[in-house]
Amino acid sequence: MKRYYFTLLMFAATTALYAQQNGVRPFTAAEKERWQKISDGLGAAFPKNYKDWRIDSCNCRDFSLWAEFNKARQPLTVVDNKNQPVGNHPYYEIKFIDETGETEKQLQQLEYDAVNNISDQAKYKALLAKQDKMRDCRQLRIHAFANYLISSTAGYRANTKKIKLDIPITGYAYPYTVPVGPELMAEDGGSVGQYDMHMDEALIIITPAPVKVVSTPLTGKRNYIEDEVIPIKVPEPTMGPIKNIVIWIKGDEQRVREVISKTDWKALQAMIGK
């Protein structure tokens, strides 16, 4: 029995040493408090419900208190109790999901109409595209991250225009719309095939620092533009003063704009630097 406990003790010591040598350690109480304060601050700015849709909110405090850190011992990544990464920055997420019978009936009617018009390929494809759009947009999602370390991407149909959102923030704020239309295609004519490809979205980056935007060129058969928005200054450490807040709001364009109108942008702007 003594040998068993000695083996366990040696294993624990070896694991701890390995973690220290490879840049992982438990979160401190102060870091946990900081993470939770930022996450709560992000969440407080957004609406907590939408119509009678089901709410699926994240438990943004649910992490196992382990952090990957850099040479200065600043935490960079949080992992859960299965050692799976859950984020490298404080975040907040919430989903509103349309499970209403009315929407289900509309989807069934679109499918019925499409089948009845299968001989007219143009009408058939248009009805299926409308059904796809409605199905993807049964979710309305908000994702917000503080001290985001990497670039952000969003896409839109080439025949639509980006017009800057009129909200009281310093930074980047544009809607990206994908109205019902032909299948989104890449340069070689293949399907773009991106996840939630029918969803509209708003990409908002609150930051005093400039950003660089790199857009995919409209070459070949491409009918879809994707912007990569690159931060000029990357915040570090992620648990330090807030240098940026990156927000995606995804769903149907009208609903996305409703969320934008109900968000406390001044409160989010006030978090910068704190």
- pTM, rounded to two decimals: 0.80
pLDDT at 78: 53
pLDDT, mean of each 10-residue run, the chain (274 residues): 46 42 62 86 95 85 53 51 57 90 78 73 73 82 90 88 93 90 82 75 94 91 90 74 94 95 97 94
| pLDDT at position 79 | 52
Cα 269 from chain centre = 19
Q: Which residues pair with 227 in a beta bridge?
A: 154, 215
Task: Please state the domain extents for the chain.
Answer: 26-98+139-270, 100-137
Give the closest residue to 63 by CA, choosing from 91, 103, 95: 91
Name the H helices within 66-189: 101-116, 121-136
pLDDT of residue 67: 53
Rounded to an integer, what is the distance from CA 210 to the centroid of its chain?
Answer: 21
pLDDT of residue 246: 95
- Kindly list the distances between the CA atom of residue 2 and the CA atoms of 5, 12, 74, 171, in Å, as whole numbers in the listed order: 5, 15, 38, 62
Say what the pLDDT of residue 64 is: 52
Six-digit token string for 9: 């003790």
Q: Look at residue 159 in the predicted model and tell me its pLDDT.
A: 85
Which pLDDT does position 138 carry in this prediction?
87
pLDDT at 46: 97
Specify the residue for token string 């908002």: 204
Res 5: pLDDT: 45
pLDDT (0 to 100) of residue 89:
74
